[in-house]
Each structure stands twice: as C-alpha cells, then as structure tokens.
Structure 1
Amino acid sequence: MKILLSCLCSLFSICVMAQQKPTDIDKSPMDVSYCPYNYPILKMSGKAGDQPVARVLYSRPQRNGRRIFGDVIHYNEIWRMGANEATEIEFFRNVKIGGKLIPKGRYTLYAICTETKWTIAFNTEKDYWGLAQNPKKDLTRVEVPVQKITDPVEALTIYFEDVKGGTNLIVMWDEQKISLPIKF
C-alpha cells in the first residue's frame, strides 16, 4: 500500500510539474554592473582582488519613444530605479555616501526625481518586486543634481565610473543623467 501511495504521489507531482511553462522573455531584462568595471572578466584573468567593491542589480526598461521623466516617472514620487524587481546595490566593504558611513551589505535603491535633482534612498529592506518602499527603513537619502544629456538614452543604464578615492554611480535614461559619488 505504501508503495502504491508513493507511486501515485510521484505521478501527481510529475503531472503538476509538466503543466509549468517557462516565462516569456522580459521586456526589461535584468543587468548587473560592478565596481571595478568588468570585475568578473578581471577575476577570470587573475587581475582582480578578492572581491569587488560594489555591484548593482537592476532591470533595464526601454524608452520606446516615450518621455520618461515627468510622464512615465512622475516628478516628486518614489521610483524603484528600474522595472519589475526593485534595484539593489551591494557593497562588499564599508563606503561613504554623502558624508555618511554605509556599512557593507545589500540595499534597495529608490529615487525621487525632479527636473533638477534626484533624491536617492538606500533602503534596508530587500527582495521586493515593484514599489513596496518603507521610508522608515531608509538608511540614508542623498540629493544629486540632474545633468541634461543631448542624446536620449534608450534603455535605463547604471554603471560605476572609477574616480580617485572611490567611484561614481552613474544612472542615465532618456535625457537625464546623475552621478552619485561613493568614497572607499
């Protein structure tokens, strides 16, 4: 009887699993950027240290002819800095942002955008899809000026730019760019 019950449970599990289908290709694919730039390639070639300084995981929504800032992303409202899952940044060592010590760890990034500045929030809650931001969990918020760019950027782009004593987190999309200084 136990063998029969076990076989029936196995058959049921196989039938249930057969009904699951892979998801479609996402219109906003997930991407990752490292500091230092190209860290995985540097590591494979033996030219990198033990760990990167930071990495950011984000989805890359497309402009598709739309006006992003002010229309798709409303001014003075919280934005998850991407699409789908909220953007996450991980620091592999302590850093300073806006004069504040940020302990090594993983944080969710949010932004409040205006025409002239963005307020970037480093939030301690993680693994969120969409916009479930709890401002009480913000570790810090930092204001950065908006730079207008003449050639619109089609896909949201986030990367690290090496500078003396640290890096800048660059975020570009549509006709806006911000540069957030991070000190090591």
Structure 2
Amino acid sequence: MKKIFIAALGIIFLMGIPQLKAQERDTTSPNFPKMDASPMDLIIYRDSNNDVIARVLYSRPRKRNRVVFGKLVPYGQVWRTGANEATELTLYKDMKVGDAVVEAGTYTLYSIPKEKEWTIILNQKTHTWGAYEYTDEEDIVRITVPVRESSTNIENLSMTFESASDDSGTNLLIGWDDKYVKVPFKNIN
C-alpha cells in the first residue's frame, strides 16, 4: 500500500511539472493586445529624387458584407476618412490643393461623401478621435472631387499615392467598396 501511495504521489508530482513550466512561460511573456479590427496603415509619397513629400496615417475598416456608402458611412456627414483616430496627412513641403496653398505640416483629413462627389477637408486640429471634435473653423482647405467606380471590390478602406500624369504633383487615391476618389496635390514651382 505504501508503494502504491508513493507511486501515485510521484505520478501527481510528475503531471504537475509541465503545468508549472507552462505557467512560467506565460508569466514571462508580454501580454500583447489582439490585432485591431481596423488596423492602422501608413502610405508615403516620394518624388523622383526619393525625397518624402507626403504621408498619410489612417485606419483601415473592412467592408464585411456591409453597405458602406450611404449606410455605414452616411452621405452628407463629416467622416474621419477611416476608423478610430481621424486620418492624418503630413506634407513635407508646401503644396497646392485646389486653389489654396497648403503649408508643410500635419493636418487632419476629413471628407463628406455624397453619391456623386466628396468634399475633401484639410483641418488644423490634429490627434482627434473620429470626427467628434471636428469644427469647420479649423479648416485650411475644402475641395470637391468626383466619385469614380472601381473595377474591383475594395474590401478594406485603402489609400495610395499616384504621380500626376503631367508630373505636376501627386494624386491621393481613397477607395473602399466599389468607389474611389482622387485628391490632387500640385507642386508649387
């Protein structure tokens, strides 16, 4: 009986050792958060000399079988042009947007989507969540750009820069679902 008791105690002890080792690993590992449902992304525009001209920092919500424009993103309302924190645009040199000269600096990029056109807004107030703190008193420039049809479905809100066809600057493309817009940024000579 004594041998059975000692054997059982040994088995229990041996079974507990892997658990102790696993617990040791867990307590030394950092507690990283799960990936955000709308992960943050960054795009950069470089000129022909490889100098950074502009960058956009934004979060990329997913479509997930939802109606995006007119429902998830209501028409006619100021939108943060992404998810989470409002989208930020940094210009590293003065650029012309519409008829306005925009000085190098960081701005919040808001938009007001409509069915056939968007109003694009560059605003002075930065580091904001959503569009809750938006006020047009801080606007630097507003321009209207036409909505274009995408030939493919864009699952996540996406942005990219393309060189202007006449080498006069760049276009910021903003696309989601089956729509996109081009926002022109012109070089100042």
Interval of TM-score (by shorter of Structure 1 and Structure 2): 0.7 to 0.9
Cross-structure match for 2:126:
126
TM-score, normalised with respect to structure 2: 0.78
Cross-structure match for 1:182:
185
Cross-structure match for 2:173:
170
**Partner Cα distance (2:33, 2:39) in 1:** 12
* 1:36 and 1:160 in contact (8 A); partners too: no
Higher RCO (CA-CA < 8 Å; seq separation 6+): 1
- CA shift, 1:21, in A, is 4.9
* 1:36 and 1:162 in contact (8 A); partners too: no
- CA shift, 1:125, in A, is 0.4
- CA shift, 1:134, in A, is 1.5
Cross-structure match for 1:14:
none
Which of the numbers 38, 48, 51 marks the counterpart of 1:28? Answer: 38
* 2:79 and 2:130 in contact (8 A); partners too: no
Counterpart secondary structure, 1:79? coil
Cross-structure match for 2:143:
142
Write out per-residue CA displacement over residues 28-47 of structure 1, whole angstroms, 9 at most, x where no aligned residue: 1110011128xxxxxxxxx9
Counterpart secondary structure, 1:112? strand
TM-score, normalised with respect to structure 1: 0.80
Instruction: Let me know the Cα RMSD of the aligned residues.
Output: 1.8
* 2:90 and 2:105 in contact (8 A); partners too: yes
Amino acid aligned to 1:99: D
> Superposed, which structure 2 residues align to 1:1-184 within 5 Å?
21-36=31-46, 49=50, 51-131=51-131, 132-163=133-164, 164-184=167-187
Give the fraction of aligned pairs with identical amino acids, expressed as a percent.
37
Larger Rg: 2
* Residue ranges of structure 2 left out of the alignment (5+ in a row): 1-29
**Partner Cα distance (2:32, 2:60) in 1:** 21
**Partner Cα distance (1:55, 1:178) in 2:** 17
